[in-house]
Amino acid sequence: MKKYYTFLNLQKRLLCILCIVAFAFLLMVCKLFFVTVVDSKKLQTRAIDQWTRDLSLCGVRGSILDTNNIVLASSYTSYNVYVRPVSVTNAQECAQTLSQLLELEQDEVLTKINNKKVSEILLKQQVSPSLAYQILSANLDGVYLSETSTRQYPYGDLLTSVLGFTTIDNIGQSGLEAYYNRFLTGTDGYSLTDGTITGVELSNATTEYVSGIPGCNITLTIDVGLQQILEGVLDRAIVEQKATSALGIVMNAKTGEILSMATKPSFDLNNIPRDDVDTLMSLSKNTTVTDVYEPGSTFKIFTMASALSLGVTTLDETFFDPGYRMVDGQKIKCWKTTGHGSETLVEAFRNSCNSVFMDLGLRMGTTKFYEYLSRFGIGQKTGIDYIGESSGIMMSQDVVKNVDLARISFGQAVAVTPIQMITSICGVLNGTLYQPRLIKSITSENITKTFDSVAVRDTVSDAVKQKMNYLLEQVMSGDGECTFVTGYHIGGKTGTAQKYEDGKVASGKYIASFVGTYPASDPQYVLLLCVNEPSNGIYYGGQVAKPYGKDIFTKLFNYYGIAPDEKDMVDNTNLVAVPNLIGMSITDACALLKSMKLDYYFDDDIQKVTAQAIPDGQMVEKGTIIVLY
């Protein structure tokens, strides 16, 4: 036995034991290092989470303002109501009180309060401050309030599809609320209170508060006064023309700024129809950006600009229109089937003669015509700051036949979005294509980021630009100068296009459109207005859309105080000075305006006039709408 337990063997065994102990100690040291250094923050967070109870303090969502800093969307403080079941002393009394105040079923509330397996239960979100005060006054054990915010839209159904809306958690869900969500969203704060692991608050607990950080404010290029004018006219157009919908855009041709943009019908953003998904999706979609339509005769602006740029025609060239053209063996009729006879290019543009524009398209050929359409931005996204923009629909150049080219030349066999249409028109009439935009600036605390106009490319020469503006004014001059809106030089073009369903022409369904420009010689304001499916017996753009364009321009001049270009044409007997209405009740103000043969517009909840769109003393025509705030 002794030979097996020599000193050497014992020494080896001790060494082995020491190594094992050293290794175990090393493991403990490593574990201690990971606990105290590597995982310390994570473990501290878990410990705080177990031994404290937290409630969020909402970082208020930023406001959205118009170009004049008038608030279009804001947030006000509201509260979420929570219950911590283990802290409730009288469940029956608590459930009865909360169910009455929050308008909830008492049995459901009682079931939640008796659920001791959870530490905290949310009962209701976004209750008003007054209701929150009543809950606090009830002194209910285990009931807590968390500060949050509720989105509010002072103008209700104004700018519905443009502004969009948020979820109940204040996350942008559509429109600009979604597009600029990362800027508008604030950073939530919190309050921490010491408690047991079961959720019971300690008697000597202290509470730590970390306030939330508000989101940025967004200022738009939209002018709310002009927006009210546009939407009021669109509403009237739908009713009078028995149309399914209408849309309009007013853009600054020199900058790409969108001054107003609207789709109608709409809904009140303070009362979102979330329970009717189909209605919500239909009315919240901004069709000026997302949907395409066949433009009809307004597209002739691009054909004419391309033909003049390529030198395939001149303003004094004479054409003959028998009412049709034969292209590839097909007879394509002009809208006037009896024909316009002999006419110059200027007269053909004024007459909107399809036959002449087919000639121009065929002269240019597909390759050159498509090059200019691409230069104008047709078939391309504009890059507007909005979600879901479409690029339009154009036939692939390599499959276009002469008969297709002929139809494209007068606005058929091509589809554009309204924002693409007006942007491209501004590019032609201004000589430079600008990227359209709704954003003016973003402000965070004392820092403001201002957005400048973005010029995409030059489109036509100065000579062609001047000719196009001249042609558009000739269309609107009628029997004499400045007769569309008396005293003002305005350019314009109307369009009428059939609608398609399932790849076929939809019988009796049309889109009537109007494009207007001012000043005619060097446009700053460009208007696009479309009336969808008018069913009042007429459907031509000149009869349906054009009169509403005149109404919008008349009110635009009054709103901005733009004096007539030809003052001697204005009938002074039809003018009246706008009275001072500030401080008056809405009833008295409306009565005074009515007595002076002036019209008015105001939101339903106005009780007292604090501002007016047109200042007192300014001379306006009788029948002018005075917007009251």
Cα distance between residue 69 and residue 220, in whole Å: 9
Q: Residue 416: which of 435, 396, 391, 397 has the closest Cα?
A: 391
Catalytic site includes residue 260 = no
Token readout for 366 is 């597909």
**Region of residue 179 (phi > 0: left; psi between -120 and 50: alpha; otherwise: beta):** alpha
Burial 574-605 (b: 16+ CB within 10 A, else e): eebebbebeebebeebbeebeeeebebebeee
Question: Phi then psi for 321, rounded to 5 degrees?
Answer: -120, 110
CB 311 within 8 A of CB 187: no
Q: Catalytic: which of 297, 309, 352, 477?
A: 297
- Number of CB atoms found within 10 A of residue 47's CB: 10
Which residues fall within 8 angstroms of residue 134, CB to CB, at 6 or more apart? 101
Cα distance between residue 423 and residue 421, in whole Å: 6
- Taking the CA of residue 230 as centre, how many other CA atoms within 13 Å lie in the half-sphere pointing to its CB? 28
What are the DSSP calls for 349-393, one per residue? Answer: HHHT-HHHHHHHHHHH-HHHHHHHHHHHTTTS----SSTT----B
Cα distance between residue 609 and residue 626, in whole Å: 12
Helix (H, G, I), strand (E, B) or coil at 112: helix
Helix (H, G, I), strand (E, B) or coil at 249: strand
Q: Residue 263: which of 226, 231, 233 has the closest Cα?
A: 231
CB 521 within 8 A of CB 541: no
Helix (H, G, I), strand (E, B) or coil at 72: strand
- Number of CB atoms found within 10 A of residue 280's CB: 17
CB 243 within 8 A of CB 531: yes
User: Cα angle vertex 209, ends 203, 211, to 5°?
Assistant: 160
What are the DSSP calls for 389-444, one per residue? Answer: ----B---GGG--HHHHHHHHTT-S-BB-HHHHHHHHHHHHHSEEE--B-EEEEEE
Q: Residue 147: which of 189, 116, 179 has the closest Cα?
A: 189
- Number of CB atoms found within 10 A of residue 8's CB: 8
CA distances from 96 to 83, 106, 133, 273, 415 (A): 13, 6, 17, 30, 61
Preceding peptide of 322 cis, ω within 30°: no
Instruction: Cite the beta strand spans of 59-120 per DSSP E.
Output: 64-65, 71-83
Query: How many residues are present in the chain?
Result: 629
Identify the DSSP state of 585. B
CB 281 within 8 A of CB 378: no
Active-site residues: which are they?
Answer: 297
